[in-house]
Amino acid sequence: MPPLLEVRDLTTYFHTRNGVVRAVDGVSFSLNRGETLGIVGESGSGKSVTCYSMLGLIPMPPGRIEKGSAVFDGATDLLDCPPKVLQSIRGKRISMIFQDPMTSLNPYLRVSTQIMEPLFLHEKGIGKKEALERAIQSLREVGITEPERRVHFYPHEFSGGMRQRVMIAMAMITHPELLIADEPSTALDVTVQAQILELIKERQRANNSAVILITHDLGVVAGMCDRINVMYAGKIVESGTADDIFKRAAHPYTIALKRSIPSLGTKGKPLYTIPGMPPDLSQLIPGDAFALRKGIRSGGKYDHTPPPMVQVSDTHWVRDSDCELPSLEEVLDEC
Amino acid sequence: MFRFIFNRILQSVVVIFIVVTITFFMVRLAPGDPFSSERRIPDYIQQRILEHYGLDRPAVEQYWRYLQGAAPKRFRPDKLFTEDPLLNAFGIDLGPSYTSARTVNQIIAETFPVSFELGAWALLIAILFGVSAGMTASVFRNTALDYVPMSVAMAGICLPTFVMGPILALIFGVWLGWFNVSGWFVPADRVLPAVTLGLVYAAVIARITRGGMLEILSQDFIRTAQAKGVPYGKIIFKHTLRGGLLPVVTYMGPALAGVISGSFVVETIFQIPGLGRQFVQSAFNRDYFLVLGTVSVYAVLITLANLTVDIVQVILNPRLRFED
């Protein structure tokens, strides 16, 4: 059986006035049915653009998908198919939830209208009554009390966490085979974050959907994902199972990310941060992008040639690097 | 909702009362009186005239008597289409006009429908052209379909009606001979004045519509709709239009005021027997009661327009609906 999604060499550039921003540069991964993939990286590492590219959500211009393929279910290349076909997949077989539930729901339309919309679009001939029942059922499944009454509310009558539940209900109403969650918990209270992630997991099990979870929080992916891709400067730098990433991380960037998870340090100890800033992607980077980061020492092996991906084990791939992380004391000195 | 409307109506009444009061005393502060431009007449005749109109009384007393006359005393909708609807349907008596043989009520009853029709056509043109041009521009942003309408709109904003009017009259009236250059007799006479008056507002509305639509199109929830597989046309009409047109609705209040006050220029250019001309002439003649009457009509119209705008806004924007 072919994988549900097979992405090969996905490359998305933004052609701006200040030059070409290489937001996603040759990303490849695959995803099986029911599997959960985490994509981790800093802001601007290209993790969201990767997923937006697949669904045709990149504003074009300035964005352009330069090359690559994203074969869905062994049949359709999402990057190269008629708009009508892509439209029939979006919201039906692939759904998406976004970071900020406060702005991701249309404030001018009732929740009922918005939740039922995918049904009317993708399940032709569905009656109004049946659609409303499905919407209520969907809200009930994401734990919204009194869904019969609240389905007619406007988004502003819900709290942030509740709105994200509405988003999930809306995304799952068509029982998609793939759910893309773009930082679904980032904008929420810490107490609500865990609930929302738990809810996504629960809905995933109920529908046997695959999930791509985009986040900058390694702690979030740890408990949820079967596989994890770590991205840096538009490229995947390390890819492996949760165990590979958490127990056998090989790329210095992954190690740095792990070290900066606050809860893993001892109390009273200063927090580790990755020094410097991610590189400016509008400049062509011929070699190892991480080596350019301020405070990172590199042996100069990949100054001019791109570092290759190296297979560590059956499941674990890492981009070669000769960078060395600064110690905590050095980071503190820097501050 | 009903409390909101009731409060707004109450506010409107206060506003109109204040406008009438200020106008009443302001016109009397202006030098001269209604009869200063007449030929010299003997003092005792002058005295008789002033007595006849009650102008010899203290200003406060005059003011009190005017308010008594102008206050609405009844409501008879069946009498709305009589010769003097203000008096017959509402019991409003706006007093006599000093410079004509008719009462202010009669002048308003004669001229207001003309101005109202002109304004209605102008607003219709403004909304139809403005909204469609603005929407086209926003949907085809940064293409010829954006630049051309928006440049035309910019030109339209810059051209005042007293330039636009004669140009249109010259082209379509004199050269092409399609319309009469002036007058208000046949239906075709409505075209040039309404277009002249409407184009400026069409231009402003086009720019506001474009801005409003682009603002909404850049929102996260549009991306959500795209991700749901909503086709582009539905994204525009179902998800964007409502929010995108809110600024236009807000602008309709000032636009109506502008159409009304702008209409006297157009009425003068095209020789239209409307209220706007009466308004300007009455001010020159110091025809106190006619000034007050026209100002009151405008005040009522503008507050009514703003009231409607507020209500429509609440209907369009659910977030406003539950605030008390």
The ipTM assigned to this model is: 0.84
> Does the residue B235 lie in any domain?
yes
| Distance, CA of B214 to CA of B140 (rounded, Å) | 10
Mean pLDDT of A309-328: 82
Q: Which helix (H) or strand (E) holds A193?
A: helix A190-207
B233 shares contact with chain A (CB less than 8 Å): no
Contact status, residue B206 vs residue B244, Cβ threshold 8 Å: no
Q: Please provide the average confidence, as pLDDT, over all residues in chain A.
A: 86
A101 shares contact with chain B (CB less than 8 Å): no
C-beta atoms surrounding B188 within 10 Å: 10
pLDDT, one tens digit per residue, over A175-192 is: 899 999 988 888 778 888
Tokens of B6: 């009731």
Q: If pLDDT is split at 50, 70 and 90, which confidence band does A219 have?
A: confident
Mean pLDDT of B34-38: 70
DSSP string computed for B224-246: HHHHTT--HHHIIIIIIHHHHTH
> Does the residue B139 lie in any domain?
yes
Contact status, residue A36 vs residue A208, Cβ threshold 8 Å: no
Nearest partner of A209 among A2, A1, A5, judged by Cα: A5
Detail the DSSP E strand segments found in chain A: 5-16, 19-31, 36-40, 63-72, 76-77, 94-97, 178-182, 210-215, 227-232, 235-241, 297-298, 309-311, 317-319, 323-324
Total domains in the fold of chain B: 1
User: Diameter of chain B by CA atoms?
Assistant: 86
Tokens of A10: 């996905």
pLDDT, one tens digit per residue, over B47-92 is: 888 888 888 888 888 888 888 888 888 888 887 777 788 888 888 8
Instruction: Give the B window 280-319 contacts with A, CB below 8 Å.
Output: 316-319
**Predicted pLDDT at A149:** 92
Q: What is the DSSP letter of A270?
A: P
B229 shares contact with chain A (CB less than 8 Å): yes
pLDDT at B323 over 60: no
pLDDT at A168 over 70: yes
| Distance, CA of A83 to CA of B239 (rounded, Å) | 20
**Predicted pLDDT at B43:** 82
pLDDT at A76 over 50: yes
| Distance, CA of A250 to CA of A252 (rounded, Å) | 6
> Does the residue B44 lie in any domain?
no
CATH class of A5-93+184-334: alpha beta
CATH of the domain at B120: 1.10.3720.10
What distance lies between CA A171 and its chain's CA centroid? 15
Please give, rounded to a whole number of angstroms, the shortest distance from the CA of B136 to a CA of chain A.
Answer: 18
Domain that holds residue B242: 112-275
Q: Which amino acid is at B58?
A: P
Nearest partner of B82 among B105, B116, B57, judged by Cα: B105
Mean pLDDT of A293-301: 76
**Predicted pLDDT at A135:** 93
A279-293 burial code (b ≥16 CB/10 A, e <16): bebeeebebbbbbbb
A212 shares contact with chain B (CB less than 8 Å): no
Q: If pLDDT is split at 50, 70 and 90, which confidence band does B324 have?
A: very low
Contact status, residue B89 vs residue B79, Cβ threshold 8 Å: yes
Helix pair angle (B104-139, B191-217), 10° resolution: 40
Q: What is the DSSP letter of A16?
A: E
> Do A108 and B242 count as a contact with CB atoms less than 8 A apart?
yes
| Distance, CA of B34 to CA of B57 (rounded, Å) | 15
| Distance, CA of B206 to CA of B133 (rounded, Å) | 6
Contact status, residue A69 vs residue A8, Cβ threshold 8 Å: yes
Strands A178-182 and A94-97: parallel
For residue A11, the SS3 value is: strand
Mean pLDDT of B244-273: 86
| Distance, CA of A162 to CA of A2 (rounded, Å) | 36
Q: Which amino acid is at B104?
A: V
Q: Which residue of A has its CA nearest to B228?
A: A91
Sheet holding A19-31, edge to edge: A19-31, A5-16, A63-72, A76-77
| Distance, CA of A202 to CA of A204 (rounded, Å) | 5
Q: If pLDDT is split at 50, 70 and 90, which confidence band does B183 have?
A: confident
Q: What is the DSSP letter of A301?
A: T
Instruction: Give the B window 188-227 contacts with A, CB below 8 Å.
Output: 219-221, 223-227
Q: Which residue of A has its CA nearest to B231?
A: A87
Report cis status (omega within 30 of 0) of the bond before A279.
no
Mean pLDDT of B245-255: 90
- Greater confidence (B181 vs B14) lies with B14
Strands A297-298 and A323-324: antiparallel
Tokens of B80: 């709305």
**Predicted pLDDT at B209:** 95
Q: Which residue of B has its CA nearest to A172?
A: B228
| Distance, CA of A25 to CA of A234 (rounded, Å) | 5
**Predicted pLDDT at B90:** 84
**Predicted pLDDT at B135:** 93
Write out chain A residues lying below 8 Å of B226, CB-based.
55-57, 90
Nearest partner of B225 among A161, A82, A81, A90, judged by Cα: A90
Contact status, residue A49 vs residue A58, Cβ threshold 8 Å: yes
A8 φ, ψ (degrees, to nearest 5)? -125, 120
pLDDT at A296 over 50: yes
Write out chain B residues lying below 8 Å of A106, CB-based.
221, 224-225, 239
A170 shares contact with chain B (CB less than 8 Å): yes
| Distance, CA of A98 to CA of A93 (rounded, Å) | 17
Q: Which amino acid is at A157?
A: E
Mean pLDDT of A32-58: 89
Mean pLDDT of B33-59: 79
> Does the residue B40 lie in any domain?
no
Tokens of B16: 């109109």
Q: How many residues does chain A have?
A: 335
CA angle at A193 for the pair A191 and A196, rounded to the nearest 5°: 120
C-beta atoms surrounding A83 within 10 Å: 10
> Does the residue B304 lie in any domain?
no
Nearest partner of B240 among A106, A256, A131, A293, judged by Cα: A106
Within chain A, which residue ranges are assigned CATH 3.40.50.300? Answer: 5-93+184-334
> Do B229 and A96 count as a contact with CB atoms less than 8 A apart?
no
Mean pLDDT of A79-100: 89
pLDDT at A160 over 80: yes
Q: How far apart are the first and last CA of chain A?
A: 52
B263 φ, ψ (degrees, to nearest 5)? -65, -25
Segment among A74-83, A281-290, B32-41 with least mean pLDDT: B32-41
pLDDT, one tens digit per residue, over B266-311 is: 888 888 888 888 888 888 888 888 889 999 888 888 888 888 888 8
